[in-house]
Structure 1
Amino acid sequence: PAYADPRAGLAVEVLSSRPDQVSGGDALIEVRQARGHRVRVSRNGEDVTAAFRRTKDGVRGVVTGLDVGDNTITATAGPYRKSLEVRNHPIEGPIFSGAHQQPFVCKTERGGLGAPVADNQDGQGMRVEGGWSRNCFAPTVTDRLYRSTDGTFKPMPAGRPADMATTTLLDGRTVDFVVRRERGVINRFLYSIAMIENGWNGRAIYRFDGGVAIGHDQGTLGGSALDPYGLGKGYAILHSSGTRTSTHYNLILGGETALMVKERFIERYGVPLYTVGVGGSGGGIQQYVYGQNHGDRVIDAAIPQYSYPDMVTQTIHVGDCELLERYMDHNPRWARWEDRTALIGMNASDTVPNPYTGEQGSDECVNGWRGLTPLTMNPLWTSNDDPEWERMDPPGVKDTVEWTHWDDLRKVYGEDENGYARSTWGNVGVQYGLRALRDEVITPAEFLDVNAKVGSWKAPADMVQEGCPFVRTACPADFDPWSARNADLGDPAPRRAPDPVAIRNVQRSGLVFRGDIDIPVIDWRHYLEDQLDMHNAHQSFATRKRMLDHDGQAGNQVIWFTDARPAGEEFDQTPEALRVIDAWMANIRRHPQRGVVGNKPEQAVDRCFATDGTEIAAGPHVWNGVLDDRAPGACTRHFPLYSTSRIVAGGPIEGGVYACRLQPVERAIAKGLYGSWRPTREERARLKQIFPTGVCDY
């Protein structure tokens, strides 16, 4: 936050946000003063000194009544005078995310806030009493809950209930488990702030949630809004439907929402000792991206779980899945499921049940990622069949939406000449199975065949509606789990080039995690490879590689794995991670000059754990062999890692290459790119036919 020069006798600072990013008409202001003078504070010339209370270094108070737009906060003390310009934005936003997305389905009633407030008479938005609502605002509500001995939260009655649970706080006190909760609407999304009554430990957890969605929806609050462990230890819990990627995946909007929720918390309860992020999958991605884009303004530390570096670069290899699955499902060479890892890179099993065939045998593309292609790429298909759409006007407005990830972020990717959002996905020059060829797992003939027939995706203007299982009325006759009707196929099948404008725009947007993060990070996940879970374990190291590529340092990130074989997730390492983060942050407060890495406590090191949470190994060398050529460390040996189709094709583990640099086929052969294979004249001609513009030179 910006503030005036203290050498001039006064310093004025906004504690709740940046001065140019205030929202909702109020801000927590601190004035640090020269000794011996009484401070007076005004807002746009009107005295607001009564809102301030004395602190050790000056005065602090919440200034309300700020105009939308520019405001001036002025402090005077004796001969000293300082002013600070503050820009206030509406509570419904936006601050920097751009124009509001429409249509936008309201969920305030489902969230326990009552019907949304009418904000227009133009027939736009959700039909409500008195008109229509486009911004889905509802008044803030507060309530009291208690934790029952049956493990649930219940409304707090007038007297102490017989089934009241107790909890032991961080300071050792045991108290009744009574929670005060505030819910409302910020930036058009639902938010929740909860903390135990009379027991806040001064720390906050921001709970981020995962999932995949295309927006146009207010969303609902998740169960993590009432995190029993965090509340029970005295943490304040911050949460928003706008920071759940099951609501949308616009992390520019999500970051803005998180900043506004954090601002609200600080204005009501003060500046916490620190705020730590906790959340898995998309909730982990948000911590990396917001930590990069906003420094410590949202979170001071992070516990990303089951994370990826970001979402937008996952589309690169996930877009390959159904193309490869269609090819393999129609080729007897790939009838044995475990062979498929040679092409997709991810794990495959001959014994894991397949939800689409009802038989044994599947892979991560099927069990983990099936359905993501139509969800993110097909403008005609959506999984959002919420009945609230029936209340939306004008009639048929849902059908005007282009339901793709690219359109959800049209403001970032840009618009093509046909009016569709630009896309970063492409596979020109990608040699599927290259590593398997070099390792002699597949033959040259098999390598040529898959690359000739794998195909690519049609442009959005040419896509048609999906079949079964995505459109239920098409089942069972029109079975097309591969979305083959929307693939460009042939022999050789055409490849698709990514849009260079889209690539340039997204790389500048802040949606791509570049590795620029300087807060404490404990990256933790259960090891779920045997379950063919989509949260593949190598992604923790993809993130670390981006950090190393950024500035050569990744000492502020530690990676923890907990075994989940064979039964699945059991032991939760989050409480231990919170304890280590607490010690880490305490060290930083005591010795700020040592920086983040210099303040790591003893347990803030790379570690891996057994299914019961006991430590297998810890230290700087346990993951040797993952990002280097050293002998595998103890954790590396215990937890085999898989990859992706693009890594198998020769790409880097960091996974962020949208469009590879191309090289002529003859140059690739001369460089020995194909290992022991020396293509014949006919094979060279076939390679050039498949790759007329060249092959990837990663």
Structure 2
Amino acid sequence: MSGLTQPQINAKKTGINGHLDQLGCHSWNNAFGFNNKPGNYVPTLVINAAGAMAPVGAPRNNCRLPAALVYDPATNPNGTRCGDPDLSAAVWGTTTGIAPGSLRALQTGDNVGIQYGLKAMIAGAITPEEFVTLNERIGGFDADFNRRAARTTADLAALDIAYRAGIVASGANLGKLPIIDSRGWDEQGIHYIWRSFAERARIDAANDGSHGDQVMWRYGAGLLPATAAQATAVTLRSLLTMDTWLSNLNVSAPKETLNSVRRQADVIAAKPADAVDFCFLTGDTNFTTPVADMALCDADPRLPKHASPRQVAGGPLVENILKCELKPLNSVDYAPRVFSSAQWARLQATFQDGVCDWSEKGVGQRRAASPLTFADGPGGKRLPPPPVSHPRSGHGRDHDDDDHDNARDHHDRDDG
């Protein structure tokens, strides 16, 4: 991007990442960019609005343990691993690590086939050359979260677990819950408005276009209510509204057990009349006038949803594809943009196995079978039905123990 002014560069970054501006990606790196580091590290932080990066601070690890106890591929390959997947190894299971003789947790991160900046290029925000260069150089991470030229690849078994266990939130399950999505403004941070709409899109997709169990309350004053008036209008109101909603549900659709399942229709029927979508416009600093016209809300400069890098890459709003299925490159997909023969050859070299086919389900994507228990090991099993009490048999053991064990054998399966 030589020869461009910093505002021009920032505009291109914004086009690629889909956010309000370039600062959102900076915030993600600085807040969570090192969560997967398994050993000791010095964080490399974004240090100014232009995106310059530098090591900042003393060495640390995510376990907050003495450095000598923590994994190091050369000096302590069997030390405690502190990356996010490793902290949940009981859920994911383990596999062979990079260091000889070491183990690591399975992980779901993957960017194989993702065409970063695709929609930005088609819209003219970046050039075909910038698009090709971006995807040539973006690379990924290895299993120890070190940057590398190759893309990041997920462990396939972890993808299955993520979907089965509902770690990727299921629209079917979300549709069974009363939801008040209270969404403040943090578009230069990490709490983006589009996530409320992604949640809604998942519910719609699993419930024939119905999202009546979810309402959105948007406001642009800040991430959280900051004054007593704002807290009364949002925080207190949401608690009281949800209390009424749940109280209605307990009467109209009582649950036999804690894990009994309600239908979306039950949740919608119990919804209070004031549980509706609304926003407080940015000029309404005391949150005095709820606005139910979503067109007015969307037109407010601090209330529209933006997007994510994966959505700009052609991915769906539901954001539930961890690893995409691939399809061959096709020049028709880039119209009206045209690549030179040299650029096309470079793009083919970058995506030798193909690019994301977002029209297909993700690799390993399936219906959630949650709630699961991981008491018997990684991967999880369906919870059995609740135990049934019987009179004592006189042989020193209650029959409900047998029933519980048998139920585990017969109900440990998912919905496919």
TM bin (shorter chain): 0.5 to 0.7
The 5-angstrom pairing of residues 408-487 of structure 1 reads: 408-418=87-97, 419-460=103-144, 486-487=146-147
Q: Is 506-515 or 654-663 further displaced after alignment?
A: 506-515
Structure 1 residue 595 corresponds to structure 2 residue 261: no
**Secondary structure in structure 1 of the residue aligned to 2:34:** helix
SS at match of 2:243: helix
1:528 counterpart letter in structure 2: D
8 Å contact from structure 1 (residues 342, 441) kept in 2: yes
Name which of 81, 84, 96 aligns with 1:405.
84
Deviation at 1:397, TM superposition (A): 4.1
Separation (CA, whole Å) in 1 of partners of 2:224 and 2:180: 24
Letter of the structure 1 residue corresponding to residue 276 of structure 2: V
2:286 is aligned with what amino acid? D
Larger Rg: 1
Conserved 8 A contact 2:15-2:117: yes
Give the 5 Å matches for 1:125-204. Answer: none
Q: Give 1:562's aligned residue.
A: 219
Residue 634, structure 1, aligned to residue 296, structure 2 = yes
Deviation at 1:428, TM superposition (A): 1.1
State the partner residue of 1:584: 245
Q: Which residue identity does 1:417 align to in structure 2? A: T
In the superposition, relative to structure 1, how do residues 501 and 546 fare at CA in structure 2: closer, same or farther (>3 Å)?
A: same
More strand by share: 1
Letter in structure 2 aligned against 1:587: N
Quote the Cα distance in structure 2 between the aligned partners of 1:502 and 1:585: 35
Is the contact between residue 179 and residue 214 of structure 2 (CA under 8 Å) also seen in structure 1?
A: yes
Aligned counterpart in structure 2 of residue 661 of structure 1, from 301, 304, 325: 325
* Alpha-carbon separation, structure 1, partners of 2:240 and 2:3: 52
Residue 681 of structure 1, CA deviation:
2.6
Matched, 1:544 2:200: yes
| Aligned residue in 2 for 1:364 | 24
In structure 1, the residue corresponding to 2:218 is in which secondary structure?
Answer: strand
- For 2:342, give the aligned amino acid: E
Q: How does 1:43-54 map to 2 (within 5 A)?
A: none
Tell me the amino acid that sits aligned with residue 522 of structure 1.
I
Give the equivalent residue in structure 2 for 1:57.
none
SS at match of 2:108: coil
> In the TM superposition, what is the alpha-carbon distance from 1:378 to its structure 2 partner?
4.0
Instruction: Give the match's secondary structure for 1:686.
Output: helix
- Amino acid corresponding to residue 580 of structure 1 in structure 2: T
Please state whether the residue corresponding to 1:451 is helix, strand or coil.
Answer: helix
Tell me the distance in 2 between the aligned counterparts of 1:434 and 1:564.
32
C-alpha separation between the residues in 2 aligned to 1:496 and 1:673? 24
Which residue of structure 2 lines up, in the alignment, with residue 689 of structure 1? Answer: 349
Equivalent residue letter for 1:637: A
Q: TM-score w.r.t. structure 1 length?
A: 0.41
Give deviations 1:358-385, integer Å, cap 9, x for gaps: xxxx611113442422222444445557
> 1:397 & 1:595 partners in 2: Cα distance?
52
2:275 aligned with 1:604, yes or no?
yes
Select the structure with the greater relative contact order (CA < 8 A; seq sep ≥ 6): 2
From the superposition, tell whether residues 598 and 371 of structure 1 become closer, same or farther in structure 2 (CA, over 3 Å). Answer: closer
SS of the counterpart of 2:180? strand
Aligned counterparts of 1:443 and 1:586: Cα–Cα separation in 2: 56
TM-score, normalised by the number of residues in structure 2: 0.67
Note the 1:215-230 alignment, pairs <5 A: none
Structure 1 residues 451 and 511, CA gap change in structure 2 (3 angstroms): same
* Distance in 2 of aligned mates of 1:598 and 1:443: 51
Counterpart Cα distance in 2 of 1:426 and 1:332: 33
Query: 1:628 is matched with which residue?
Result: none
- In structure 1, stretches of 5+ residues that fail to align are 1-327, 349-361, 464-485, 624-632
Q: Deviations over 1:610-637 (max 9, x none)?
A: 431123412xxx44xxxxxxxxx22222
Q: CA, structure 1 residues 487+555, in 2 after alignment: closer, same or farther (shift >3 Å)?
A: same
After TM superposition, the structure 1 = structure 2 runs for residues 84-483 of structure 1, keeping only pairs within 5 Å, are 333=4, 335-336=6-7, 337-348=10-21, 363-381=23-41, 382-384=60-62, 396-398=68-70, 400-418=79-97, 419-460=103-144
2:313 to 646, 649, 654: 649
The answer on 1:521 being equivalent to 2:182 is: no
Instruction: Please list the CA deviations of residues 589-627 of structure 1 after superposition, one character each: whole Å capped at 9, or x if unmatched.
Output: 554498221122221011101431123412xxx44xxxx
Match of 2:49 in 1: none
Instruction: Report the secondary structure of 2:107's partner residue.
Output: coil
* 8 Å Cα contact 2:39-2:61 kept in structure 1: no
On the 8 A contact 2:38/2:62 being kept in 1, the answer is: no
Relative distance call for 1:519 and 1:368 in structure 2 (3 A) is same
- Does residue 533 (structure 1) correspond to residue 189 (structure 2)? The answer is yes
Contact 2:19 2:308 in 1 (8 A): yes
CA distance in 1 between counterparts of 2:28 and 2:323 reads 25
Pairwise CA distance, 1:546: 1.3
Tell me, in whole angstroms, the C-alpha distance in 2 between the residues paired with 1:646 and 1:450.
Answer: 14
Inter-partner Cα distance in structure 2 for 1:333 and 1:684: 25
CA RMSD of aligned residues (A): 2.7
Q: Give the 3 Å change call, closer, same or farther, for CA 566–586 of structure 1 in structure 2.
A: closer
Change (3 A) 1:439 1:583: same
**What amino acid sits opposite 2:216 in the alignment?**
I
Q: Classify 1:424/1:334 alpha carbon distance in 2 versus 1 (closer, same or farther; 3 Å).
A: farther
Structure 2: gaps (5+ residues): 42-59, 72-78, 98-102, 255-264, 359-416
* Higher helix residue share: 2
Counterpart position of 2:161: 505
Q: Equivalents in 2 of 1:347, 1:332: separation in Å?
A: 24
Structure 2 CA distance for partners of 1:675 and 1:615, relative to 1, 3 Å? farther
In the superposition, relative to structure 1, how do residues 383 and 635 fare at CA in structure 2: closer, same or farther (>3 Å)?
farther
**Aligned mates of 1:558, 1:568 — CA distance in 2:** 18
Mapped to 2, the partners of 1:602 and 1:586 lie a distance apart of 14
Over 3 Å counting, the alpha-carbon distance change for 1:592 and 1:658 in structure 2 is: closer
Q: 1:586 to 1:509 in 2, by over 3 A?
A: closer
Q: Distance in 1 between matches of 2:163 and 2:224?
A: 40
In structure 2, the residue matched to 1:678 is 338
Q: Indicate conservation of the 8 Å contact 2:110/2:323, yes or no.
A: yes
> Secondary structure of the equivalent of 1:641?
coil
Percent of matched pairs sharing the same residue: 28
Please give the alpha-carbon distance, in whole angstroms, between the structure 1 residues aligned to 2:88 and 2:3: 40
**Secondary structure of 1:432 counterpart:** coil
Alignment length (residue pairs) = 304
Q: Deviations over 1:221-240 (max 9, x none)?
A: xxxxxxxxxxxxxxxxxxxx
Distance in structure 2 (CA, Å) of the matches to 1:403 and 1:414: 15
SS at match of 2:134: helix
Paired residues of 2:324 and 2:356 also in contact (CA < 8 A): yes
